[in-house]
Structure 1
Amino acid sequence: MRPAQEGRAMTKPHDPLYEPHLDGQDGDLDGGPGERVAKALARAGVASRREVERLIEAGRVAINGKVLTTPAVKVAPGDFLTVDGQLVAEREPTRIFRYHKPTGLMTTHNDPKGRPTVFGALPKDLPRLISVGRLDLNSEGLLLLTNDGELSRALETPSNAWVRRYRARAFGDTTQAKLDKLKDGVTIEGVTYGAIEAKLDKAHEKAGGGKNVWITVSLSEGKNREVRKVLESIGLKVNRLIRLSYGPFALGTLAAGQIEEVGPRVIRELLEGVVSPENMPTGDRPKFAGIANPTKAPGTEGGGELQRRGAPRADRAVVLDAPEKPEKPVYKPGWAKPKKKASPHGPAKGAGKGPAKGPAKTKRPAKSIESKFIDIGKPAARGKPATPRPGAKPAEGAARRLSERPGKPSARPGPSRGPKR
C-alpha cells in the first residue's frame, strides 16, 4: 500500500478518488465503479468513441492530470477528465439538432486543407456537437447533430434499419427497370452495398444532347459516397445530391444554413431505448429556440429566415394547388334574389302558386329606327327597361322624356306626344 500512497501524493494529493491502476493503465475494466473513458467522452459530446481513441493515441486525454496511453481505462465518479488541458464538463441531457447543410462545407471539426466546416459555421452559443454520419463537400440537405456521442454511434449503424432518403440529379440515361435491379445490392471494386430502392422521378433533355434525370434513393446504410458510386455503376453521373430525411427526421422546409433543435418530447417518443435513461431530456421545449443563418445566401444581409431558391413554402404550395374561388355575395333582406337555374327534375313542390309574375319571357323586339339615333354618340343607359305590365297604361315615349331635359334636343323636330301607334 505504501507505493500507492506515494503515487497518490505525487500525482493528485487533493483527489480522494485517485485510481492507482492509472499508473500502469491496465486496470480491470470488468469490475469497479465508473465507465470506459471513450464512452464517457462520447456521452459528454467530445467526440465519437473512435475519435476518442485517436485523441488518446495522440496524448491529448488525461485523467486526474495523468496522460492516458490506452483507452482501456475507466473514469470513476469525481475524476477530473481533461482533453487538451480543458476540463470536460459533466454530461448534459441528450440534444439533437436538424441542420440544412449547404454545399461547400466539410463535415468535420478541423479540416487539414483549411476548408470551411459545418461546425465552424454554427452559432457560437450551441454546445459542442458531433454529426450523425456525414455529408461530403458537394452534398447538401439534412444533417443531424447531437451532443451525445453514444447516440451518434447508435444511429449510424445499419442495424438500426433507419432509412436515409436522398434526391439525386444525375446526367445520363436510365430506366426504372435498371434502377429496380439495385434492390438486390451491388458490388463495386470489392465493396458490397446493400439493397437500394431507387425511383425515377423525371427526365429532362439537355440542349447539347443527353439527359438530366431526378431519382429518389432510399437506403439503410451510409458508406462513403455510396449513392454516387452506386448510380455511377449504372452509367449515371450525379451532379447534385440532397438528403431529404434520416429515419423519422426530415429536412422539411428548413432553408440552407439553418439549424433547428428537436424538442425533448420528440426525443423521448422516438428514441426511447436508444438514449440512455440518465441522458434522457425532460420538459417539452428546446433550449435553442431561434433559427440561425450562419451561411448567408447571396444578396442577403443579417439574420431572418432564408428561403432556399426553388424550394416552395408549404403555405405557398397550397395556394398553387388550390386556385382561389370568388367569394359568394352576401344578400341583405329586400335585395333581389339571384336567378335560379331550372331544375332537371322538374318544378319543385308549390311552384306556380301565388300571384303571377307576368307572362313568360320572350325575345325582346328590335328597337325602332328612331330609338337607335337617340343620344347618338353617347353610351347606352345602364340597366334594363322595365317590362310593361298587362293592362297597364302605356308609358310616354323615350323621345318625350329626353325632350323635357334642359339642353337635350329632341330626336326630331316638333313635339312628340304619346307613343306611336
Structure 2
Amino acid sequence: MTQDTRGERIAKWLARSGVASRRDAERMIEEGRVRLNGHPVTHPATFVGEGDIVLVDNQPVSAPERTRLWRYHKPDGLVTTHRDPEGRPTVFGSLPEGMPRVISVGRLDLNSEGLLLLTNDGELARKLELPSNGWLRRYRVRVFGVVDEQRLASLAQGCVFEGVRYGPITAALDSRKGDNAWLTVSLREGKNREIRKVMTGLNLHVSRLIRTSYGPFQLGTLLRRELEEVPPRILRDQLPKGETPPAGSRSR
C-alpha cells in the first residue's frame, strides 16, 4: 500500500492545516487532544485519508488548503500564542474575521513590534524558521543608556551573557539624543528575548524593539495591525534555494 492510498501522517496533516507545528501537533496527540473518526489518536504516525474527520479539542479541523503566507505588523501588547493562560490579548485574536487558521513563523514577545510572518501551513513555518536557511532578521532598537560603540561592534564575534552563548550579532548606532539611542541590529538565529538580554549585558535598557525584516520579507509600509498576503509567485521565488512550497500548496 502506498502513502497516497493510506493518506498522510496525522501530525504532518495537522501542521499543514495550520493547527500547529508538527512537533506541537505530536504533543497534542500525546495529550489526548486529537481524535480521528471519533477515536482518540495515540500515535503521530496515524494516517488521515480523504473523507476522514479530525477533531482537535473537540473542534473539527478542515483539510489542508494551498500554502499561504502573510506579512503582519504586530503592535506591542499582543502575545504570539493562540491561548494565553494569563488572559492577555493575542496576535491571533486580533486578526480579521474570515482568516483561516494560521500559526506564526517564529515569535515576537509581548513588548516587541514589527514584522511577523503568518502561515496556514505548519510545515512551511518550520522550514522558514530553520537556522540553516541563514535568513537575516533585522530590527530597529531604541535603548536607554550610554552606548559603547566598541562593545557594540564586538557582538559580531558572538558573546556570552548569564551563561548563555549567543551567535554573531551585527549592531550599529544610528542616532543618539541624550541618554536615548537608536540602533540597527541584525542576527540570523534568535534565542528567546536575545536582543534584550544582550543589550542588558551592555548596560543598555531596550525601550522599543521593532522587527523590520525576516529574510527577504520586509515590514515596509504596513501599518500597525495591518495584514497583507504574500503573492504565491513571490512566496515560491523567495523560498530557500532548492525548496518548493510544501504539499499544502496544492488545492485539496
- TM-score w.r.t. length of structure 1: 0.56
Match for residue 168 of structure 1 among 116, 141, 154: 141
Larger radius of gyration: 1
CA contact (8 A) 1:202 1:214 kept: yes
Residue in structure 2 matched with residue 274 of structure 1 by the alignment: 243
CA contact (8 A) 1:264 1:281 kept: no
Match for residue 212 of structure 1 among 163, 176, 180: 180
1:187 partner letter: V
Match for residue 183 of structure 1 among 152, 156, 163: 156
State the alpha-carbon separation in 1 of the partners of residues 22 and 155 from structure 2: 33
| CA deviation string 1:54-84 (max 9, x = no partner) | 3212211012221023324333444332212
> Cα RMSD over matched residues?
2.1
Residue in structure 2 matched with residue 111 of structure 1 by the alignment: 84
| CA deviation string 1:365-402 (max 9, x = no partner) | xxxxxxxxxxxxxxxxxxxxxxxxxxxxxxxxxxxxxx
CA contact (8 A) 1:133 1:222 kept: no
| CA deviation string 1:391-415 (max 9, x = no partner) | xxxxxxxxxxxxxxxxxxxxxxxxx
Q: Tell me the CA shift for residue 31 of structure 1.
A: 11
From the superposition, tell whether residues 182 and 85 of structure 1 become closer, same or farther in structure 2 (CA, over 3 Å). Answer: same
Q: Tell me the CA shift for residue 217 of structure 1.
A: 0.4
State the alpha-carbon separation in 1 of the partners of residues 46 and 161 from structure 2: 40
Q: Tell me the CA shift for residue 184 of structure 1.
A: 1.1
CA contact (8 A) 1:101 1:257 kept: yes
Q: Does 1:263 align with 2:231?
A: yes
Q: How does 1:111-260 map to 2 (within 5 A)?
A: 111-205=84-178, 211-260=179-228
- TM-score w.r.t. length of structure 2: 0.92
Q: Tell me the CA shift for residue 115 of structure 1.
A: 0.6
Identical aligned pairs, as a percentage?
A: 59
Helix, strand or coil at the partner of 1:120: helix
CA contact (8 A) 2:17 2:122 kept: yes
State the alpha-carbon separation in 2 of the partners of residues 91 and 165 from structure 1: 31
State the alpha-carbon separation in 2 of the partners of residues 231 and 269 from structure 1: 35
Q: Which runs of 5+ in 1 are unaligned?
A: 1-29, 206-210, 283-421
1:175 partner letter: D
Match for residue 43 of structure 1 among 10, 16, 21: 16
Q: Which runs of 5+ in 2 are unaligned?
A: none
Q: How does 1:54-73 map to 2 (within 5 A)?
A: 54-73=27-46
Helix, strand or coil at the partner of 2:92: coil
State the alpha-carbon separation in 2 of the partners of residues 161 and 145 from structure 1: 19
1:94 partner letter: T
Residue in structure 2 matched with residue 386 of structure 1 by the alignment: none
CA contact (8 A) 2:70 2:230 kept: yes
| CA deviation string 1:71-123 (max 9, x = no partner) | 24333444332212333222111111111001111111111111111111110
Residue in structure 2 matched with residue 75 of structure 1 by the alignment: 48
Q: Tell me the CA shift for residue 281 of structure 1.
A: 6.3
Helix, strand or coil at the partner of 1:45: coil
State the alpha-carbon separation in 2 of the partners of residues 224 and 277 from structure 1: 27
CA contact (8 A) 2:54 2:60 kept: yes
Q: Tell me the CA shift for residue 183 of structure 1.
A: 0.8
State the alpha-carbon separation in 2 of the partners of residues 48 and 180 from structure 1: 36
| CA deviation string 1:305-351 (max 9, x = no partner) | xxxxxxxxxxxxxxxxxxxxxxxxxxxxxxxxxxxxxxxxxxxxxxx
Q: Does 1:52 align with 2:25?
A: yes
- Size of the aligned set, in residue pairs, is 249
1:136 partner letter: D
CA contact (8 A) 1:268 1:280 kept: no
State the alpha-carbon separation in 2 of the partners of residues 280 and 71 from structure 1: 22
More helix by share: 2
CA contact (8 A) 2:14 2:25 kept: yes
State the alpha-carbon separation in 2 of the partners of residues 89 and 202 from structure 1: 49
